[in-house]
Amino acid sequence: MKTLRIVLIVFFLLSCVFIFTRENPLTGEKVSIGQSSLLQKSSLWHTIAGWQKDMNSKLNHILKDMKQSFKLKYFLILISVSLLFGVIHAIGPGHGKMIVGAYFLKEKASPINALKLGSIIAITHSGLAILLGILFGIIVKSMKMHGRIDVQNYIGIISGAFITLLGIFYFWQKIKCKNHSLPGKKNEILLGIFSGMIPCPVSMTIILFSIYLDVFFFGFLSVLFFSVGMACTISLLGFIIIKSRHLISRISIKNKQKAQAIQRVFGIVTSLLIIIIGLNLIFTRL
Amino acid sequence: MRKFVIICFILFSMQLFSHPHVWIEYAVEVVFSEEGLQGLEIEWTFDEMFSWQIVMDYTEDQDYEISEEENKMIEKEAFAYLAEFDYFADFYLNGKKFEVKKAENFHAKCKGEFLVYHFYIPWKVPVKKETTYLKISFFDETIFCEVVPKKDGLKIKKAENISAEYSMPDRITYQLNFWMNKE
């Protein structure tokens, strides 16, 4: 049981990763994130990417089927595939997991907090995808992929700026040893919104495609369930980090002074990490 | 504490699992003349969603038929950028990286609901009596695109005086060896 717990913790912590790009290489500037060919050569990578490809394709077909006629079977396939796609897609780099990781390493929190933060990220994420989908699919239809990517990049820059400011604020709090200047709830809402603001091209494409097919409601449902799936993964990651942090606190409780010093260093390092993530979001898009 | 340091190290230094938003299957035809290797004919087949976006953005009737004019626009706006990414090419000649300078003869077409890019990468390597070793693969280091070979995705257009053989050392790489036939 203990081994299983450690394996699970490592597995999810591994998925909480740095990624130094959000550009579409088919239209955008080159941003290197370093050598990833080794990963891409692995069969695990291939398997997970393959699942996502299949689900992406399935959503494409099922939305077309929905246009032809509504069947309960199609509807159930649509929401279950969207949900699963969201769970798997969020395992990949990005989607605010690094911020969630850093935040819960910094803050003392409960599993409910993880669920809240994951949900806020997912709600913001799907809400924005729907708004952008409506903008690109109905209001400024003439905008091509370049334009759409540019708009997404500007939103990413704004998100990065807010995350950086929040990181600076946390850092200042930790340096001054002020732990509760902002209520935890407010912290989570702000962090969740800023992290969720970065649009995911998958959600955007689903919305655009559903508008094109004139089945917007089903596209909306698909993105909603996709986001619920993402929220599950992000919340689970947060939950595991909270548990890991709790485990560390228990280990270091023997020496209270030492434990406090460790907690403070953690707070400072993770605040710096949030600043770095925010700056990275800005500079990879400029 | 040691366990936690290890976990933090992994957490902050590694990346794992793919995060693709575009999926590409590639096929390669290796073109030889009597002098040796001349270049590679490349074919990329995109997933349905990306294909649809390109069709929607660049074709007039959104009918999966690409005219010459539309082909030029796609090349200019959705292909030329890839030069900055070396066209995702990861090619090696006798263990030394081959820098892809340009791609030629681009044309896009649709096979059903799939968008297909065709292009040619010139790569001149004279044939010798001793074996020459090539490694051919594509990957996107930004992880935005997942590029994998098609099943039986490598063909060889051989010259009579050249022998060639290939294998796949991993799931995305072709190892191709060629040499001059004994007279």
Rounded CA-CA distance A104/A122 in Å is 17
Rounded CA-CA distance B95/B112 in Å is 39
- Asked if residue A4 belongs to a domain, the reply is no
Q: Which of B3, B9, B17 to mutate to test the interface with A (most CBs of A within 10 A)?
A: B17
Rounded CA-CA distance A36/A185 in Å is 37
pLDDT of residue A173: 81
Closest partner residue to B7 (CB to CB) among A41, A146, A244 is A244
Question: With contacts defined as CB-CB under 8 Å, which chain A residues touch B148?
Answer: 46, 49
Q: Do B11 and A15 touch (CB under 8 A)?
A: no
Tokens at A14, concatenated: 């591994």
pLDDT of residue A16: 46
User: Max alpha carbon distance in chain B (Å)?
Assistant: 69
List the strands of the sheet with B36-46, edge to edge. Answer: B104-111, B114-126, B36-46, B22-33, B145-157
User: For a pLDDT cut of 90, what percent of chain B falls above it?
Assistant: 69
Strands B22-33 and B145-157 come out as parallel
The confidence band for A41, taking pLDDT boundaries of 50, 70 and 90, is low
Rounded CA-CA distance B28/B155 in Å is 6
DSSP state of B23: E
- Asked if residue A35 belongs to a domain, the reply is no
- Asked if residue A31 belongs to a domain, the reply is no
A34 pLDDT more than 50: no
Which burial class, exposed, middle or buried, applies to B10 when counting CB atoms under 10 A from its CB (0-12, 13-18, 19+)? middle
C-beta of residue A31 within 8 angstroms of C-beta of residue A20: yes
Phi, psi dihedral angles at A33 (to 5 degrees): -115, 10
Cβ atoms within 10 A of the Cβ of A172, count?
12
Phi, psi dihedral angles at B158 (to 5 degrees): -90, 155
User: For a pLDDT cut of 70, what percent of chain A falls above it?
Assistant: 77
Q: Do B173 and A27 touch (CB under 8 A)?
A: no
Half-sphere exposure of residue A129, counting CA atoms within 13 Å on the CB side? 30
Q: Do A14 and B14 touch (CB under 8 A)?
A: yes
Average pLDDT of chain B to the nearest whole number? 87
Predicted-assembly ipTM surpassing the 0.90 threshold? no
Rounded CA-CA distance A201/B53 in Å is 11
DSSP state of B61: S
Question: With contacts defined as CB-CB under 8 Å, which chain A residues touch B16?
Answer: 14-15, 17, 39, 93
| Top mean-pLDDT range of A238-247, B54-63, B84-93 | B84-93
- Asked if residue A215 belongs to a domain, the reply is yes
Q: Do B58 and A144 touch (CB under 8 A)?
A: yes
* pTM as predicted: 0.79
Rounded CA-CA distance A182/B136 in Å is 55
Angle between the B48-58 and A201-213 helix axes, to the nearest 10 degrees?
A: 60
Dump pLDDT digits (tens) for A141-192. Answer: 778 877 887 888 888 888 889 889 988 988 888 787 665 555 556 777 888 8
B-chain residue closest to A20, CA distance: B142
Question: With contacts defined as CB-CB under 8 Å, which chain B residues touch A15?
Answer: 16-17
- Asked if residue A22 belongs to a domain, the reply is no
Sequence-ordered list of residues with C-beta below 8 angstroms from that of B170, at least 6 positions apart, any chain? A41
Alpha helices in chain B (DSSP H): 2-13, 48-58, 68-78
Q: Is A213 in the B-facing interface, judged by CB distances under 8 Å?
A: no
Question: Which one, of A234, A251, A282, lies nearest residue A99 by Cα?
Answer: A234
Q: Do B49 and A273 touch (CB under 8 A)?
A: no
B46 pLDDT more than 60: yes
pLDDT of residue B15: 37
Residues of the domain holding A242? 42-283
Count how many domains chain A has: 1
Q: If DSSP states are collapsed to H, E and C, what string results for chain A?
A: CHHHHHHHHHHHHHCCCCCCCCCCCCCCCCCCCCCCHHHHHCHHHHHHHHHHHHHHHHHHHHHHHHHHCCCHHHHHHHHHHHHHHHHHHHHCCCCCHHHHHHHHHHCCCCHHHHHHHHHHHHHHHHHHHHHHHHHHHHHCCCCCHHHHHHHHHHHHHHHHHHHHHHHHHHHHHHHCCCCCCCCHHHHHHHHHHHHHCCCCHHHHHHHHHHHHHCCHHHHHHHHHHHHHHHHHHHHHHHHHHHHHHHHHHHHHHHCHHHHHHHHHHHHHHHHHHHHHHHHHHHHCCC
Dump pLDDT digits (tens) for A58-75. Answer: 999 999 999 999 899 999
pLDDT of residue B10: 42
| Top mean-pLDDT range of A194-208, A272-286, B50-64, B94-108 | B94-108
- Asked if residue A19 belongs to a domain, the reply is no
Closest partner residue to A251 (CB to CB) among B1, B12, B47 is B1
Rounded CA-CA distance B3/A5 in Å is 13
Closest partner residue to B15 (CB to CB) among A41, A93, A273 is A93
Closest partner residue to A36 (CB to CB) among B21, B48, B141 is B141
C-beta of residue A48 within 8 angstroms of C-beta of residue B180: no
Which burial class, exposed, middle or buried, applies to B115 when counting CB atoms under 10 A from its CB (0-12, 13-18, 19+)? buried
pLDDT of residue B115: 97
Closest partner residue to B144 (CB to CB) among A24, A52, A101 is A24
Question: With contacts defined as CB-CB under 8 Å, which chain B residues touch A39?
Answer: 15-18
Q: Do A144 and B77 touch (CB under 8 A)?
A: yes
- Asked if residue A2 belongs to a domain, the reply is no
B68 pLDDT more than 90: yes
pLDDT of residue B74: 94
Closest partner residue to B7 (CB to CB) among A10, A35, A36 is A10
B-chain residue closest to A33, CA distance: B142
Q: Do B11 and A92 touch (CB under 8 A)?
A: no
Q: Do A92 and B19 touch (CB under 8 A)?
A: yes
A26 pLDDT more than 60: no
Dump pLDDT digits (tens) for B163-177. Answer: 999 999 988 899 999
Dump pLDDT digits (tens) for A117-138. Answer: 888 888 888 888 888 888 888 8
Rounded CA-CA distance A35/A47 in Å is 20
Q: Which of A8, A22, A53, A206 to mutate to test the interface with B (most CBs of B within 10 A)?
A: A53
Question: With contacts defined as CB-CB under 8 Å, which chain B residues touch A23?
Answer: 142, 144
Amino acid, res. B5: V
Closest partner residue to B142 (CB to CB) among A21, A59, A61 is A21
Rounded CA-CA distance A14/A258 in Å is 28
Q: Do B140 and A31 touch (CB under 8 A)?
A: no
B140 or B48: which carries more pLDDT confidence? B48
- Asked if residue A12 belongs to a domain, the reply is no
pLDDT of residue A150: 81
pLDDT of residue A183: 57
Rounded CA-CA distance B134/A271 in Å is 47
